Amino acid sequence: MQYRTLVTSDGCDNGPRLVAIGLVGLLLPGLGALLFGAGHWLWALGLPLILVSWLSAKRRCRDSSRPGFWAMALVALMMLWLLMLTLAAPVAASLGLLALAGAMLGLLAAFPSHPRKHYRDGYWHMDMPVPEPPVGNRIEPSLGGRAESGSGGRIEPSLSMGGQAMQAQAIHERAMEGITEVLPEQLAHSGYRAQDQLPEDNPFVAPWQADANGPETWDEGAGWQAREAEDEPDTTGSLTELMQQILVVLQRWWRPMLALLALLAVVALVALLWPKGQDSEENAGETQPENHSREQVKLPDGLNLALEEEALLLIWKGERTQEGPLWSQATAKGDATCRVLEFNNGSQYRPLEVRVLASTDTEARFSPLDSRDIIRDMALRGSVSLCGYQFSLRGSQAVLEQQAHFAEYLP
């Protein structure tokens, strides 16, 4: 195959050639993204392949006498497919678009050629030489008889008897019209013999076959066997023959295959756009690891301390049972008594959030920047107040020193 035929808009392509070029243009960028990852570098690989596929689609539209927008539709789908690969889009959407591009490629390949041409590697151009049929299969007409030849059994016309046959034919026609000047002796003198001029085994001169004991029968296919042998290209054992057989299957089943691809594309789009809800079991499964990751210690007077990824939490059993936020520093809205944690020495710390949990416990979350100072004050001060509650801290230092995670913050 000449590579310059891939980058020209002249000539015509058959269906198998378009399928081969289009599959390379679709699958090679996908293979690159699978091996080396998505990225803008795929444009450098995909754009030349899309250009070659577009030129092949144009030649295919010319071969099948179809408008050029079919080629543009294929190019648009291939561009979207390349964009999906570049942006690392969801797999379902990418596969759905790949199915649509493959369906468009198969549809273009299934269009019949008008008119039929002699392709070479799937390509045809008006300047290409017409392939000559094998010499041994050609049967030449004979005007005056048969001339034997020792090369391949070829039958050559006999020029020596041609003039004599034409002269005898003219004399015979004049005799049939009743012209008296033509005598039977003249027919005999000319050497005219009907069996010589109409041989039974010559399909070009006598496509009919007479039987001495029965009526004449006309052999309709005898005179055209050589002509059909010339028109059919010899593609035995070639890749073109295999692709032509695949094309026959596509032409026969392209409607069911197109419907199947469309169904797969719809299923992929529905799976992509289906809302992903979160049920209570998933939320509970996510909350459970958080509870296990906490390091918690129980202080006297019903106050609990917990460390969660360096953030300090104060937990106690309050009177409020309705789940929800009590105070938020981000919005500065809620119960004003919860906006400051105050120790008996006057030290104050602002909680990020105070809320009532589903277990009716009240939880106050502080910034990780304040965790060390709050734990030290919890060990050294006498009392602390928050949200209208006052807790005694007597004996809290001994409890905190027994917990390794909290002992790290003590002086």
Q: Give me the pLDDT at residue 152, please.
A: 45
* Distance separating alpha carbons of residues 265 and 384, to the nearest angstrom: 64
Question: 289 preceded by cis ω (within 30°)?
Answer: no
In the block, tokens 């035929």 appear at: 5
Hunting for tokens 């295919």 — which residue is that? 60
Output the pLDDT for position 297. 87
Per-residue pLDDT at 39: 83
pLDDT at 192: 47
* Predicted local distance difference test score (pLDDT) of residue 301: 79
Tokens 């269009």 found at? 111
Q: Using the CB atoms, write b or e for 3-38: b if 16+ within 10 Å.
A: eebbeeeebbbbbbbbbbbbeebbeebbebbeeeee
Q: Which long-range contacts (CB under 8 A, 24 or more apart) does 84-92 make?
A: 85/29, 85/30, 85/33, 85/38, 85/42, 85/46, 86/38, 86/39, 86/40, 86/42, 86/43, 87/38, 88/33, 88/38, 90/272, 92/268, 92/269, 92/271, 92/272
Residues of the chain with pLDDT under 70: 1-2, 129-243, 249, 268-269, 271-292
> Rounded to an integer, what distance in angstroms lies between the CA atom of residue 94 and that of residue 296?
48
In angstroms, rounded to a whole number, what is the distance separating the alpha carbons of residues 74 and 103? 9
Strand partners, 364: 314, 354
pLDDT at position 51:
92
Q: What is the pLDDT of residue 220?
A: 47
Q: Which pLDDT score is estimated for 349? A: 92
Angle, in degrees to the nearest 10, between helices 41-63 and 91-110:
20
Distance CA 293, CA 2 (A): 68
| CA torsion, ordered 310, 316, 318, 320, to nearest 10 deg | 30
Q: Are 329 and 353 in contact (CB under 8 A)?
A: yes
Q: What are 386's strand-pairing partners?
A: 389
pLDDT for 204 equals: 46
**Parallel, antiparallel, or unpaired for β 361-365 and 389-392?**
unpaired
Please tell me the distance from the alpha carbon of residue 12 to that of residue 62, in angstroms, as a whole number. Answer: 6
What residue has token string 């070479």? 120
Model confidence pTM above 0.75: no
Q: What is the pLDDT of residues 370-409, one digit of tens each?
A: 888 988 888 888 888 988 888 888 888 888 888 888 888 8
Q: Cα–Cα distances in Å, from 85 out to 23, 31, 45, 79, 250? A: 16, 10, 12, 10, 28
Residue located via tokens 């299923």: 267
pLDDT of residue 242: 63
Q: What is the DSSP string of 146-167?
A: -B--SSTT--B--STTHHHHHH
Separation of alpha carbons 312 and 295, rounded Å: 10
Q: What is the pLDDT of residues 60-94, one digit of tens each?
A: 888 888 888 888 989 999 999 888 888 888 888 88
Contact 333, 363 (CB under 8 A): no
> What pLDDT sits at residue 138?
56
**270 DSSP 8-state letter:** H
